[in-house]
Structure 1
Amino acid sequence: MLVENNAALQPHNTFGIAAQAQRLLRLRKAELLPDLVRQPGWCAERLRVLGGGSNIVLTGDVEPLVLKIEMLGRRLLRETEAGYLVEADAGENWHDFVAWTLDRGWYGLENLALIPGTVGAAPVQNIGAYGLELQDRFHSLDAVDLHSGEVHNLDAAQCRFGYRDSVFKCERTVAPGHGRWLITRVRFWLPKRWQPVLGYLELERKVAETGLEQPTARQIFDWVCQIRRAKLPDPAVIGNVGSFFQNPLVSREQCAEICARHPAVVHYPLPDGRVKLAAGWLIEACGWKGQTLGRAGVYEKQALVLVNRGDAYQPCSGADVMALATAIQASVLERFGVRLEIEPELW
């Protein structure tokens, strides 16, 4: 483990907000964590856990200890007639892990290509895209209890997955960015009887354009990468955290009321009777697409994405980002009666 004092966090968050951590500890071996937790002076309540920094907005300098997850490793644990059980350490880049499984003929994660962040962060949000969620391929994970130092193996039921939600978001005892659990390894079950997941409008369009009614996993992977790159900015070029707001879930009755007033609203009925509204459509309908407020802006190709409009002389701050986010929330609430929930964590 390496400890840095007054460490710059700008390189470690994809929005590119300049801030410092009083102490930054780089964790590269999961086996060291239980002993660390049991050391005198350890305080789980004074901790922030940092993965790829693709799902946080820094609102200022960080006083609590920042634990940067840098454990690497990926492996096939078991192959049966039914499928493959694969495992990755928490610090692995998510997209690289997806590509690695495809290269080996283990299909099932292709719809989740190019989602920024690490493997360890993926279950926290129950990441999802293009008709698939992490829980659909999830097997189990290892996590350390940050209060006791005990290592637990958690299955899907214990993770309590929901829409962009999990037990790891629910069991936060003090503040965002820290909770009871720290995920160290994640396992996925990838079936040999693979079937493409195509029940999403943009993938349906790709099928219609190409005439490929039964595309391969590699073709779906390539399609997803093309779609995401066409409408989402590269954080290495324009600072951002991807989708800034969750797609709101409303009742069937509320959706009907909204559709009566705004027939073009993009919506998706869910099996539980609720309806998912496209947050990007709501934001664009309020006129925010391509707009800038302070040194934060709304991406001109996708209204769901907020971007860094600052520079070296006038950097974008967390306050800039939150001022824009709050203004967008107020507009959507006033026009549609729906409150947008912020997706990234606020530090």
Structure 2
Amino acid sequence: MLELSHHVDLKPYNTMGISCFADYLTRVSSEGELREALEWAGEKKLPVCPLGEGSNVIFSGDFQGLVIAIGIKGCEVATGEIDGQVLVKAGAGESWHEFVQWSLSQNYYGLENLSLIPGCVGAAPIQNIGAYGVEVKDVFHSLQAMDVVTGEVVTLTGEDCQFGYRNSVFKGKYRDRFIIVSVTFSLSKTFEPQLDYGQLQREVLQTAGVNPVTGQLVSDVVCRIRNSRLPAPEQLGNAGSFFKNPMVTREHYQKLLEQEPEMVAFSSGDECWKLAAGWLIDQCGFKGVAYSTGAGVYRYQALVLVNHGHADGQAILTLAGDIREAVSERFGVDLEIEPRIY
């Protein structure tokens, strides 16, 4: 039996801490319950909003439809070891960080650089989350998703998902068509540290000293770095990195470098450069800014927009708009908002 709550405050369901209301909310813990919820919404002709931990969502106002809190759990080995790789399947409602820690406890490697990224497993492929030189696509095998209209569960490969930088097909033509129910990863039984990121390499080697570098040690260092840069949502509402790092042509980069010799950027191949969005925002004077609406920018990291307690979605988006306008005027660069806007 589908259990529905009416007129639900979504503040506990999004890490930005925005208070707004959903007409209806239900929690599902199985494919059958999810299918039942979608059938109900379909009969009522209501839009649906799937939510995991709400760490990459901004509600611009009340949601006039059905919010489905995804609680499909479970971690299991899908197949045994094949050429040193093992397929591991996790339910979409599993906490991402807890899943990373579970994989390490089983001596399965490949996810350690992605430790402490907020959100659930089901959201990871949508964003193609990444950190410290590793992205989900690097360890992705397949996912299972339910068609919102038909209730059919389909399997999609990495090619089907069309992964890009913080992007996938679920942010394009498959947006609102599928809800992910589980994800399968190809992890390694042999630990090979990925330490291309300078700060991570330095801190890992310093922490390890004369001892061998382990997957858990890398994970612990990643957690330490992230905790030093990002506020805990329960203490200060935020959705992590609010903007993508913009990509520009080599010509654009060279022109900017002449004007801004200290500009932070990284070569991304194919004659493209990735600019550090946080640096651009900082140069425009927004780091630490606090609007009277309650919207602000984190004082230690300009890439993170925060809610000082009473900001609504419109206040956050107004601040984001001011930032985008300032960066565009000064650098000729368009910043793209990373969280999904409802």
TM-score norm. by structure 1 comes to 0.93
- Contact persistence 1:246–1:279 (CA under 8 A): yes
The one-letter code matched in structure 2 to 1:246 is K
Quote the offset at 1:82 in angstroms: 1.6
1:153-185 deviation digits (Å, cap 9, x = unpaired) = 11100011011111111125xxxxx61111000
1:54-77 deviation digits (Å, cap 9, x = unpaired) = 011111111021111111111112
The one-letter code matched in structure 1 to 2:189 is K
The one-letter code matched in structure 1 to 2:278 is G
1:327 lines up with 2:335 in the alignment: no
Q: Give the match for residue 142 of structure 2.
A: 140
Match of residue 232, structure 1, among 225, 230, 233 = 230
- Contact persistence 1:34–1:151 (CA under 8 A): no
Match of residue 128, structure 2, among 101, 126, 129 = 126
1:249-303 deviation digits (Å, cap 9, x = unpaired) = 1111111111111111111111333111111111111111111123111101111
Quote the offset at 1:227 in angstroms: 0.5
- Contact persistence 1:44–1:147 (CA under 8 A): no
3-state SS in 2 of match to 1:247: coil
What is the distance in 1 between the residues matched to 2:42 and 2:208?
A: 62
What is the distance in 2 between the residues matched to 1:228 and 1:288?
A: 21
Q: Give the match for residue 281 of structure 2.
A: 283
Match of residue 183, structure 2, among 165, 186, 200 = 186
Q: Give the match for residue 272 of structure 1.
A: 270
Ranges in structure 2 where 5+ consecutive residues have no aligned partner? none
What is the distance in 2 between the residues matched to 1:251 and 1:25?
A: 46
* Higher mean C-alpha deviation, range 279-288 or range 188-197: 188-197
The one-letter code matched in structure 2 to 1:323 is T
What is the distance in 2 between the residues matched to 1:270 and 1:194?
A: 26
1:196 lines up with 2:197 in the alignment: no
* Higher mean C-alpha deviation, range 41-50 or range 263-272: 41-50
Moved over 6 A (4+): none
The one-letter code matched in structure 1 to 2:158 is A
What is the distance in 1 between the residues matched to 2:41 and 2:63?
A: 22
- Contact persistence 1:16–1:239 (CA under 8 A): yes
The one-letter code matched in structure 1 to 2:96 is W
Q: Give the match for residue 316 of structure 1.
A: 311
What is the distance in 1 between the residues matched to 2:41 and 2:86?
A: 42
3-state SS in 1 of match to 2:318: helix
What is the distance in 1 between the residues matched to 2:279 and 2:252?
A: 17
Q: Give the match for residue 103 of structure 2.
A: 101
* Higher mean C-alpha deviation, range 207-216 or range 142-151: 207-216
- How many residue pairs are counted as aligned between the two chains? 338
Q: Give the match for residue 3 of structure 1.
A: 4
Ranges in structure 1 where 5+ consecutive residues have no aligned partner? 173-177
What is the distance in 1 between the residues matched to 2:209 and 2:274?
A: 28
3-state SS in 2 of match to 1:168: helix
The one-letter code matched in structure 1 to 2:122 is G
